[in-house]
Amino acid sequence: MVFDLDMIKKLYAAMPGRIEKARKMVGKPLTLSEKILYSHLFPSQKLENFGRGKSYVDFAPDRVAMQDATAQMALLQFMSAGRPKVAVPSTVHCDHLIVAKSGAKDDLTNANKESKEVFDFLSSVSNKYGIGFWKPGAGIIHQVVLENYAFPGGMMIGTDSHTVNAGGLGMVAIGVGGADAVDVMAGMAWELKFPKLIGVKLTGKLNGWASAKDIILKVAGILTVKGGTGAIVEYFGEGAQSLSCTGKGTICNMGAEIGATTSTFGYDSSMERYLISTGRTEVAKMANKIKQHLTADPEVYANPEKYFDQIVEINLSTLEPHLNGPFTPDLATPISKMKEEAAKNGWPTKVEVGLIGSCTNSSYEDISRAASLAEQVANKGLKTKAEFTITPGSEQVRYTIERDGFIKTFDRIGATVFANACGPCIGMWSRMGADKKEKNTIVHSFNRNFQSRNDGNPNTYAFVASPELTTALAIAGDLTFNPITDYLTNERGEKVKLDPPKGDELPKKGFDVKDPGYQAPAKDGSKVQVKVSPTSDRLQLLTPFAAWDGKNYTGLRLLIKAKGKCTTDHISMAGKWLKYRGHLDNISNNLLIGATNFFNEKQNSVKNQLNGQYDEVPKVQRAYKAKGIGSIVVGDENYGEGSSREHAAMEPRHLGVKAILVKSFARIHETNLKKQGMLALTFANKDDYNKIQEDDSIDFTDLTAFAPDRPLTLVLNHKDGSKDTIKVNHTYNANQILWFKAGSALNQMGQGKKAAKKKPAAKKKAVKKPAKKVVKKASKKKVVKKAKKAKKKR
């Protein structure tokens, strides 16, 4: 089934003309990223030579994708927008609320029981508002999007940071918060600061144990977790063209781990093959007709230093497998150096579990290469030393790999196949013994490895690797095992070596699936009822946030001064908390419980300035809220790194936090804070972070003059009576300041709708009167003409 064919036809018909106009405006050849961006300007957006990293631009994405955890809040907000139907093609994918425990069948059955209320809500909302619905078990949002919706040259947004996966099919696909998705679904412009451009030139060709995963692991080591912030990463070169489409998707997927706005590749034969293999031959034919517009102009790749803000070059022929981690996805270690690094850092080297799949590496190619290693276990008399799990990315992939015998191969080495869902990647893993908090090592082919993320144990050392290397390390049970050089001892006492992995880019017999799990929406959803029980602990209708009262914030208490890495997992944990993603008050009980307090080095332990006692972060903040006291959160570098979850912005807003002040923000989180009417601020002087004291009371002195490009002033009132005055910066434009003043972007949207309703009525009156006069005059002329004709006949 081909979705949205008419929409793609319309875009492709318009792209060449739009690109030509943009090229004339910019006055130079265009990168692929620029072509897609300029082809998706909102109708009211004036065409300009936009400043990279400077200009705020209004875009019109082609589609929206939401996963079940974030879709709840996004759709609760959309229900307030007053629209009968979504303005662009949109989908919901149920992939986050399935706990991996014993195996696919039982886990899916349990999820359908435990989260029935949420699934029913999402199904009915989708049905009512014209949204495609993918049922639990259908697959992970990003894999399903790649198989069904992604297309070269398109632009999409999704309420998950790994929406960027669709760049593997030549899209500009960007992760956003739910409020951004609401704007687009409501037919409004989507605002983004025009990105900077990073070019990654790939030369040579992968061989042996190296895979597409190792490319992004290497890039992460070069650019770090914030090196791509505010930029699109565009891959090119002979090495890029040698990669499979799903391999490109893996690279783009983990672009979220370097903070990139998105990543993308130019259209090529691998994308054409993938489109045809997934039943979209018509899309491939259309793309072939305009393929020169679906990649950069030739001059760009010939002299990339002239057209990109930064260039990275990687020779794939010499690239070796990498292991990234622990606790951060940018700590990159070539496998040949792991023994040395593990010894130096005291990392546990016994691998307890190897996990492959998830949205990052669950393609047919990934699974087939891992299966080629699993086959060697029996053939070479080996035994797998670690537990081993597989998480297929979609029902289409799962059904096809079962048909082709791969699941039987994994069964023979004692592997567990989990449901087609996120599972352990996002902490939805009921891991036996994790509650003991023992120090241990796991290796997985997922994208993130933050502390406590996978199993809730802060002492689990998680390393990210390719599915091939993960499988090899699970067989060896040793983090320092290098399959390129090292031997294993089999059950017969013989020294054996693993052969390099082999696999097919696409299934030779084609993809197959019995039931993909898709539910089309009702043609007329006006009669569909969406019910939310007022006593539910899973779902809660939203109450608009209060508008700013126009006064300076004064007497704000310091809630927490977070030390070091503070990701969205630290601010709003996933795992068991996912069940409350549709209930803002309940999920607010996990606010910042994973953040480390600078003053006592503890998690979820902050000082309540009302009584001087230490307590859990949410409890302290609720105490302030009950007394009508505002507060402020202070953080370190790249605050809000990780997931796109807007709950990390909505929770502090709901509980009365007024401002987040940090050294630097991750892009999506900063936008989410703005959308929810929060103040997202950065230290003008990063050293002022050290001036914040535990018992501080903080005043704004010039918030009443809040304006673009104008710093704000804070007074830190210390307990001993002394004061410090500091400057803080912000990136708000005039429209975003209106969000703050209205209380949220959603409130501002409502105010705009009311104003729009009044204006057309006034215009109609002004136009109506002269129109009537014209009609009367015209009718008089006709009467005169008829009278003259009658006289002549007489």
**Gap between the Cα atoms of 373 and 6, Å rounded:** 43
Summarised one tens digit per residue, pLDDT across range 705-717 is: 999 999 999 999 9
Question: Which range, of 44-48, 221-225, 552-556, 775-779, averages the lowest pLDDT?
Answer: 775-779
Q: Which residues pair with 77 in a beta bridge?
A: none
Q: Tell which residue, 187, 185, 191, has the closest CA to residue 71.
A: 185
Residue 756 has pLDDT above 90, yes or no: no
Residue 782 has pLDDT above 80, yes or no: no
pLDDT exceeding 90 applies to what percent of the chain? Answer: 91
Q: Tell which residue, 676, 582, 691, has the closest CA to residue 634.
A: 691
Query: Which pLDDT score, from 0 to 100, does residue 634 have?
Result: 98
Q: Using 50, 70 and 90 to split pLDDT, how confident is the model at 757?
A: low
Nearest-Å Rg of the Cα atoms of the chain is 28
**136: preceding bond cis by omega (within 30 degrees):** no
Region of 575 (left: φ > 0; alpha: ψ -120 to 50; beta: rest) is: left
Query: Which pLDDT score, from 0 to 100, does residue 771 have?
Result: 42
Predicted TM-score (pTM) of this structure: 0.88
Among the residues of 632-678, which ranges form H helices? 647-655, 667-675
Query: Which pLDDT score, from 0 to 100, does residue 710 have?
Result: 97
Residue 785 has pLDDT above 60, yes or no: no
331, 337, 341, 344: CA torsion to nearest 10: -150
3-state secondary structure of 631: strand
3-state secondary structure of 201: strand
DSSP state of 546: P
CA-based end-to-end distance of the chain: 72
In this structure, are residues 157 and 61 in contact, taking their beta carbons and an 8 Å threshold? yes
Query: Which pLDDT score, from 0 to 100, does residue 131 have?
Result: 98
Query: Which pLDDT score, from 0 to 100, does residue 82 have?
Result: 83
In this structure, are residues 182 and 81 in contact, taking their beta carbons and an 8 Å threshold? yes
Query: Which pLDDT score, from 0 to 100, does residue 80 have?
Result: 83
In this structure, are residues 33 and 39 in contact, taking their beta carbons and an 8 Å threshold? no
Query: Which stretch of DSSP H or E encloses residue 312?
Result: strand 310-315
Residue 527 has pLDDT above 60, yes or no: yes
Q: Enter the tokens of residue 316.
A: 């794939």
Residue 766 has pLDDT above 90, yes or no: no
Query: Which pLDDT score, from 0 to 100, does residue 431 have?
Result: 96
Query: Which pLDDT score, from 0 to 100, does residue 754 have?
Result: 66
- Mean per-residue pLDDT, 208-216: 98
β-sheet with 416-417: strand ranges across: 332-334, 322-324, 460-464, 440-444, 351-357, 387-391, 416-417
Residue 432 has pLDDT above 50, yes or no: yes
Query: Which pLDDT score, from 0 to 100, does residue 575 have?
Result: 83
**Gap between the Cα atoms of 252 and 172, Å rounded:** 10
Query: Which pLDDT score, from 0 to 100, does residue 780 have?
Result: 39
Q: Tell which residue, 616, 605, 610, 604, has the closest CA to residue 695.
A: 610
**Gap between the Cα atoms of 516 and 53, Å rounded:** 41
3-state secondary structure of 117: helix
- Mean per-residue pLDDT, 469-495: 97
**Gap between the Cα atoms of 320 and 274, Å rounded:** 26
Mean of all residue pLDDT scores within the chain: 93
Query: Which pLDDT score, from 0 to 100, does residue 1 have?
Result: 74
- Mean per-residue pLDDT, 383-410: 97
Query: Which pLDDT score, from 0 to 100, does residue 767 have?
Result: 43
Summarised one tens digit per residue, pLDDT across range 585-617 is: 999 999 999 999 999 999 999 999 999 999 999
In this structure, are residues 360 and 447 in contact, taking their beta carbons and an 8 Å threshold? yes
Residue 411 has pLDDT above 70, yes or no: yes
Active site residues: 95-96, 160, 448, 643, 645
Summarised one tens digit per residue, pLDDT across range 184-202 is: 999 999 999 999 999 999 9
* Other residues' Cβ atoms within 10 Å of the Cβ of residue 356: 30
DSSP state of 318: G
Q: Tell which residue, 301, 296, 336, has the closest CA to residue 214.
A: 336
In this structure, are residues 679 and 652 in contact, taking their beta carbons and an 8 Å threshold? no
**Gap between the Cα atoms of 679 and 737, Å rounded:** 9
Pairing of strands 556-561, 697-700: antiparallel
The residue whose two tokens read 């209106």 is 738
Q: Using 50, 70 and 90 to split pLDDT, how confident is the model at 773?
A: very low
Query: Which pLDDT score, from 0 to 100, does residue 760 have?
Result: 53
- Mean per-residue pLDDT, 411-432: 95
Summarised one tens digit per residue, pLDDT across range 537-547 is: 999 999 999 99
Q: Using 50, 70 and 90 to split pLDDT, how confident is the model at 788?
A: very low
pLDDT exceeding 70 applies to what percent of the chain? Answer: 95
Residues 6+ positions from 93 with CB-CB distance below 8 Å: 65, 66, 67, 68, 71, 134, 138, 139, 140, 141, 144, 145
Residues 6+ positions from 392 with CB-CB distance below 8 Å: 139, 357, 362, 367, 398, 401, 417, 418, 420
Query: Which pLDDT score, from 0 to 100, does residue 750 have?
Result: 80
Summarised one tens digit per residue, pLDDT across range 97-149 is: 999 999 999 999 999 999 999 999 999 999 999 999 999 999 999 999 999 99
Residue 768 has pLDDT above 60, yes or no: no
Query: Which pLDDT score, from 0 to 100, does residue 31 have?
Result: 98
Summarised one tens digit per residue, pLDDT across range 569-578 is: 999 998 889 8
- Mean per-residue pLDDT, 750-768: 57
**Gap between the Cα atoms of 508 and 209, Å rounded:** 22
- Mean per-residue pLDDT, 74-98: 94
Summarised one tens digit per residue, pLDDT across range 315-365 is: 999 999 999 999 999 999 999 999 999 999 999 999 999 999 999 999 999
* Other residues' Cβ atoms within 10 Å of the Cβ of residue 760: 8
Query: Which pLDDT score, from 0 to 100, does residue 41 have?
Result: 98
Q: Give φ, ψ of 120 to 5 degrees.
A: -65, -40
Summarised one tens digit per residue, pLDDT across range 604-659 is: 999 999 999 999 999 999 999 999 999 999 999 999 998 878 999 999 999 999 99
**Gap between the Cα atoms of 350 and 473, Å rounded:** 9
